[in-house]
């Protein structure tokens, strides 16, 4: 076997892994963008109805906590849900109109 033949499976696997990583990264970034825009729209809509930032954040917390995994099971660790919660609340504070 020549060196080029030895590298063929490795190159094929590397290309496959690169493609998978690109796809997963793209889907993750799209999901984060969609979540951020949904939080933006929700905060603007609720604030225009007169809701306080605390009321909005309480609603966001309950939306995130409802499907969150418990410590002993789930598709992902509970710590990940907490990270999402923290980020969503940061976005919420940033999107809340300052004049209210």
Using CA atoms, how far apart are residues 65 and 85, in angstroms rounded to an integer? 8
Q: What is the pLDDT of residues 42-74, one digit of tens each?
A: 999 999 999 999 999 999 999 888 766 665 456
Question: Domain residue spans in the chain?
Answer: 3-95
Mean pLDDT of all residues in 2-19 = 70
pLDDT at 22: 95
What percent of the chain has a predicted confidence (pLDDT) above 70?
A: 80
The answer to whether residues 85 and 66 touch, using CB atoms and an 8 Å cutoff, is no
* pLDDT score for 70: 63
Number of H helices, E strands in the chain: 3, 0
DSSP letter, residue 96: S
CB-CB contact of 33 with 88 (8 Å): no
């Amino acid at each position: 076997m020549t060196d080029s033949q030895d590298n063929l499976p490795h190159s094929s696997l590397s290309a496959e892994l690169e493609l998978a990583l690109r796809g997963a990264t793209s889907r993750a970034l799209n999901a984060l963008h969609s979540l951020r825009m949904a939080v933006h729209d929700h905060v603007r809509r609720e604030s225009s109805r007169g809701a306080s930032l605390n009321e909005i954040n309480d609603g966001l917390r309950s939306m995130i906590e409802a499907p969150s995994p418990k410590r002993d099971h789930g598709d992902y660790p509970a710590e990940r849900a907490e990270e999402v919660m923290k980020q969503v609340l940061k976005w919420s504070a940033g999107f809340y109109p300052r004049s209210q």
